[in-house]
Amino acid sequence: MDTNAVLDVAVQALILAAKLAAPVLVTALVIGFVVSLVQSVTQIQEVTLSFVPKAVGAAVALIVCGHWMISELISFTTDLYARIPALLGG
């Protein structure tokens, strides 16, 4: 197993992690921005007010994108298992 193969697998894993985290993080970011905007307009400065909408938004993002996330993870794992003989040099 050479260095290029290890780096290739590591890069693919990091890209997959970023792709899987993106829907939840972007949803929380957008909801947090909107809630902060509403708080600044209405001058309600309650810290805990933004937690519930973010949690609900993250749950909805997981429900909507969950099937795609699992499919991507299974595909990556299957490809990785298929590459084991080539990675070991056999």
pLDDT digits (tens, 9 = 90+) for 21-61: 999 999 999 999 999 999 889 888 787 788 999 999 999 99
Average pLDDT, the chain: 92
> pLDDT at position 90, please?
58
The whole domain housing 84 covers 3-88
Domain count across the chain: 1
Q: What is the largest CA-CA distance in the chain?
A: 66
Predicted TM-score of the model (pTM): 0.82
